[in-house]
Structure 1
Amino acid sequence: MNPLEARTRFQALRETKGPVEAAELDAVWAGLETVRPEEILGEWKGGEFDTGHPLNGELEKAGWYGKTFTSVHDAKPLMCRNEAGELYSHVELGKGEASLWTVEFRGESTATMVYDGRPVFDHFKRVDDTTLMGIMNAKGVPADGPFYYFFLERVARSGEGA
């Protein structure tokens, strides 16, 4: 699958109501381009693909909004909304925050968020200029998964776009 086909398939899977097969997401992932940590700095709103992973639905219960990458050494993996709708970094749930590194995953080096307090890695690839696909990997997960699949949409800063 080339990058254009991967982007098209990603959008179709993202709009799917109900379960999505991990194998389909893996095929999309393989067709997407890698990304460098410096290219993904900023605020991102997140969502998940329902693959039946045990984490599906759990982040939503915690009020998960997305991720903020202030710098490569200052990443906030669990930006959540409190009851008043205000964003905060849920450091208790994440057991700290994170940093961005270039890590090899499935034979490619790509931007990866390494959690400070958990043996967890979020690998990222570029769908387009404002969208990332992510795969969460963790210590103890076999090489063939099951993985948690998610996506991030870049939050436009005020004054950007039109």
Structure 2
Amino acid sequence: MGWQDEMKAWFSSLKPVRPVEMIGLWRGAGIPSDHPFDGVLENLGWFGKRFHADMRADALLFQWRADRLVAIEPGFFPIRLAIKAAPFGRTRIARTWLFYLQKALRARGRTASLALQPSGEGATAAMSYDRQPIIDYFRRMNGQELAGMMCIEGDARRYFFKLRRIDATAATEG
């Protein structure tokens, strides 16, 4: 059994979460799983995700400055190209480019929808991206942390991450 299979089994063993439980601001971090995106988002300054009461979401929040979050439009990056460019995404040059391009890449609204979706045995909260063939499934790790599993249509590999609920006043939107 490979690392990806072990991670999928671990994720499936966690308890489901309801979409309404996810409303709020969450700080994210990748969980190494032999996926091409391992380490990429952290290098680029990924902060996490924000889920709104209308079941819409800011799928990709980045830390711009210590006191400012910026929601990036995931549709700017074709997912297949992003996977191929993943090694570049772990470089200092990529981090610098994203910093300077953040204003142009800023989302003009919420970029994903949150709903209950079938996942293994039962259903759990899942976020479907508006302009990408991606669904992030969520399960509960403990009282304040969730595990996420990003599924890209047509790709058997999964990217795993965790989210920790934080106080929304700890960061402001840009």
- TM-score with structure 2 setting the length: 0.70
Equivalent residue runs for 1:94-109 within 5 Å? 94-95=75-76, 97-109=111-123
Instruction: Name the amino acid aligned to 2:147.
Output: M
Cα distance change, pair 33–135 in 1 and its aligned pair in 2 (3 A): same
Aligned partner (choices 8, 26, 44) of residue 26 of structure 2:
44
Equivalent residue runs for 1:11-90 within 5 Å? 21-82=3-64, 84-85=65-66, 86-90=68-72
Write the distance in 2 (CA, Å) between the matches of 1:72 and 1:113: 13
- 1:76-107 Cα shifts (integer Å, max 9, x gaps): 1101012x33211012x345611101111223
Instruction: Name the amino acid aligned to 1:127.
Output: M
Cα distance change, pair 104–72 in 1 and its aligned pair in 2 (3 A): farther
SS at match of 1:77: strand
Paired residues of 2:114 and 2:126 also in contact (CA < 8 A):
yes
Aligned partner (choices 124, 143, 146) of residue 110 of structure 1:
124
Cα distance change, pair 34–48 in 1 and its aligned pair in 2 (3 A): same
Q: Which has the higher helix share?
A: 2
Match of 2:100 in 1: none
Instruction: Name the amino acid aligned to 2:142.
Output: D
Instruction: Name the amino acid aligned to 1:37.
Output: P
Residue 148 (str. 1) matches residue 159 (str. 2): yes
Aligned length: 135
Write the distance in 1 (CA, Å) between the matches of 2:4 and 2:145: 19
Computed over aligned residues only, the root mean square deviation of the Cα atoms, in angstroms, reads 2.1
Structure 2 gap ranges (5+): 77-106
Looking at both structures, which has the greater relative contact order when contacts are Cα pairs under 8 Å and sequence separation is at least 6?
2
SS at match of 1:128: coil
Structure 1 gap ranges (5+): 1-19
Paired residues of 1:64 and 1:79 also in contact (CA < 8 A):
yes
- TM-score with structure 1 setting the length: 0.75
Write the distance in 2 (CA, Å) between the matches of 1:31 and 1:58: 26
Instruction: Name the amino acid aligned to 1:155.
Output: I
Paired residues of 2:137 and 2:149 also in contact (CA < 8 A):
yes
